[in-house]
Structure formats: C-alpha cells, structure tokens
Amino acid sequence: MVLCGDKVWRYYLLVNRPEQSDTIFTWKDFAAKNNTELLNNLGNFVNRSLNFCFARFEGCVPAVKETTAEDAQHLSKLSELVESYVEVMEAYKLKDGLKIAMKLSSQGNLYMQENKPWVLLKSDRNRCGTVTAVCVNIAYTFLLCELMFMPALPKIFWQVFCGDSSGPLHAWFHTQSS
C-alpha cells in the first residue's frame, strides 16, 4: 500500500492546522509525520491486520471464540478512544479528532504485538482467530474514523486486498459462521 501525494499532504495539513496558534512548516517534520505516523503506525497496523486475515483465514474475519482479561482492557481503551473521538468531532475539533483516530491505530499495533497472532496460529487457532478478528475490527474502526480526513484511504485498502473498489465499506469482509 502506498500513501502519496494529496493523501499525505491532506494528513499533514490537518494534523498541523492552526487552531489556537500559528503553524510552522518544515520538510523534516513533514517527512517525520509521513514516516512515523502514516507509514509506521497506520500503514503497518492496517496492512498487517488485513494481510494476516487474508493469508491465514482466506479473507474471512474469524469468529471471536473467547476473550481474555487483557482483551477486555484493550477493548475498553478502544471504546474510550472512540467516545473521545465522537466528542471532539462533535465539538468541531478536527485536529484532536485526527490525533485520537491515530491513537486507535497505535492501540491496535500494541494489541497485535502483545498477542502475536503469527505465533498463536501454530499453537491455538481459536485464540489466533479471536486476535485476528479484534485486529481487523480495530482497523475497520480506524478507517471509519479516518474517512472524514482521508476519504480515499478505505478505498485504497479495499483495492489492495480485494482488487476493486465496489461495495459499501461495511461489507469489506464476510464473517465466518463457525
């Protein structure tokens, strides 16, 4: 997946928009935001989550079999982030909304790293499925939040993983019944 051109500029200008003070542009900051926030955070998490789902579960989001106390903690944190996102967006604080949306991706990266679905795949496929489902749903939630800021982003991911851009956003994946 490649984020370039207007998508990178749109992100950078939104995250640095002057809401209460002036903004200073530097190429160093632009490159850092592109490399650390967009590529390392957003691109890495969403790409790994969706790639793993497609490669290991034939593109179907596995059913959540059982969650752990750690899952509950992560899901609670994610729920708080979504609530904060809605709150700041309703107050027209776009910059804060974008930053909170990026925290969803960071939280997803943390969850994936802590749970290591690639290791679980060999020892506990049900747990691996639960972790994969949670990661894909975090990615989905994140992309819904990003839709306002980078409207082409969900379409890009859809094209990369499904080969076309047709169908509504909510129909990205089929859920396994078992």
Q: What pLDDT score does 9 carry?
A: 67
CA 152 to chain centre: 14
Phi, psi of 100 (to 5 degrees): -65, -40
Which token pair is 134?
């949670």
Instruction: Identify the domain containing residue 11 by its residue range.
Output: 6-171
Residue 177 lies inside a defined structural domain of this protein: no
Q: Which pLDDT tens digit goes with each residue over 61-77?
A: 898 988 999 999 999 99
Which token pair is 85?
């996102």
Q: Which pLDDT tens digit goes with each residue over 106-138?
A: 999 999 999 999 999 999 999 999 999 999 889
* Burial zone of 54 (CB within 10 Å; 0-12 exposed, 13-18 middle, 19+ buried): middle
What average pLDDT does range 26-52 have in this prediction? 76
Residue 38 lies inside a defined structural domain of this protein: yes
| Domains of the chain: total | 1
pLDDT above 60 (res 86): yes
Residue 125 lies inside a defined structural domain of this protein: yes
